Amino acid sequence: MPLSYEEIHEKIHSLQAQLEHEFDQLLSQKRADFKYQLRKRRVIFEKGIRDLHRKYKIGIWPYLKNSNPLYIITAPIIYGVIIPLVLLDIAIFIYQQICFRVYGIPIISRSNYIVIDRHHLSYLNGIEKFNCIYCGYGNGLIEYIREVFARTEQYWCPIKHARRANKTHPYVEKFVDYGDAENYKKKLNTLRKQLKNDDSKQSQK
């Protein structure tokens, strides 16, 4: 007999928990394999590992010399996006600090989403390190903003869309069905209370 929608979701959540556990185990093994530890979010390599890494480092000039010229030409366009990203970061910080406190929604920690640590790798040159910082900031910021707006959506408009969107945030599962006028007002306050009491999303990714 086929599983119901609710049973499938319950099974998915159970598998997701198992996957998270296995990922943590795998990450611990990788840290041991590549000789590093995390101490208060700082990367600490074992003695001699940095010297080994430097042997694989390509200098900036050889790196640029062997790069596709189009990469260099398009670089200002890529890096130029940092300006709207920073402005957006500031705007979302102000937005969350004011609005979330008014609504009683738990404040989201930026540091749980924006992870910048790849610049510690000695086999990367200055350009590669900068690129990794840029990508870590940009992608982490988008995930952080997504979480802010996901919580905002649950507070103000927890209604599913008429058509399925691609890769929706997990809060959508609890939203009221599209067109369900009878239950919308009934569930709105419940969903708001759940959001105010839910600190589970604060865990670090």
Cα–Cα distance, 122 to 48 (Å, whole number): 11
- 199: pLDDT confidence band, cut at 50, 70 and 90? low
- Average pLDDT in the 24-28 region? 89
> What is the distance between the alpha carbons of residues 22 and 1, in angstroms, rounded to a whole number?
30
Element counts in the chain: helices (H) and strands (E): 8, 2
Residue whose entry in the numeric block shows the structure tokens 């900031």 = 137
pLDDT digits (tens, 9 = 90+) for 146-174: 999 999 999 999 999 999 888 889 899 89
Predicted confidence (pLDDT) at residue 204 exceeds the cutoff of 60: no
Compute the average pLDDT of residues 117-141.
96
Measured between alpha carbons, how far is 120 from 124 in angstroms, rounded to an integer?
A: 9
